[in-house]
């Protein structure tokens, strides 16, 4: 079983739609969580951190449920420019000083006009 699991999609949605991505992680001792975005044939870039209380950044809302070991990302009012792969990322507890990131396989979003 992979340490971080995501539905690979693709999710095909019209502009303006709300879309949600989910992710589960297996290591209950994991400390920190993130969403990275990766455009086609480009490098991953940090989208946002995920805090226990939930956090919002414009149209993006991230939530964490430690009891269920579940992370989510909600995108409201989707734009064409949101089309990308969204990577769920967990900081490995055993290497919190190293900063080793454990990535899910990514969920692909395609926003259509």
Partner 1 sequence: DTGVSQNPRHKITKRGQNVTFRCDPISEHNRLYWYRQTLGQGPEFLTYFQNEAQLEKSRLLSDRFSAERPKGSFSTLEIQRTEQGDSAMYLCASRTEQWRVGTQYFGPGTRLLVL
- Alpha-carbon torsion, ordered 32, 55, 12, 7, to 10 deg: 30
**For the chain, percent helix, then strand, then coil, each to nearest 5?**
5, 55, 40
Does position 22 interact with partner 1 (CB under 8 A)? The reply is no
Site string for partner 1, 31-70 (x = CB under 8 A): -xxx-------xxxxx--x---------------------
Binder to partner 1 among 75, 91, 109, 111 (CB under 8 A)? Answer: 91
CB-based contact 10:19 (threshold 8 Å): no
Does position 8 interact with partner 1 (CB under 8 A)? The reply is yes
CB-based contact 15:109 (threshold 8 Å): no
Find out whether the peptide bond into 18 is cis, omega within 30 degrees of 0. Answer: no
Does position 84 interact with partner 1 (CB under 8 A)? The reply is no
Give residue for tokens 């006009």: 113
Nearer to partner 1, 15 or 66 (CB): 66
Candidates 12-20, 55-63, 64-72, 94-102 — which segment interacts with partner 1 by CB under 8 A?
94-102
**By the criterion CB under 8 A, which residues form the site for partner 1?**
4, 8, 32-34, 42-46, 49, 87, 89, 91, 95-106
């Amino acid at each position: 079983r992979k340490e971080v699991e995501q539905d690979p999609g693709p999710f095909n949605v019209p502009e303006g739609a709300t879309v949600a991505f989910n992710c589960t992680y297996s290591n209950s001792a994991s400390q920190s969580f993130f969403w990275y975005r990766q455009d086609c044939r480009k490098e991953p870039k940090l989208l946002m951190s995920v805090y226990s209380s939930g956090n919002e950044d414009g149209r993006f809302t991230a939530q964490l449920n430690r009891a269920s070991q579940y992370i989510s990302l909600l995108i409201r009012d989707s734009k064409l420019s949101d089309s990308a792969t969204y990577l769920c990322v967990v900081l490995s507890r055993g290497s919190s000083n190293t900063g080793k990131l454990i990535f899910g396989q990514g969920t692909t979003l395609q926003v259509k006009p």
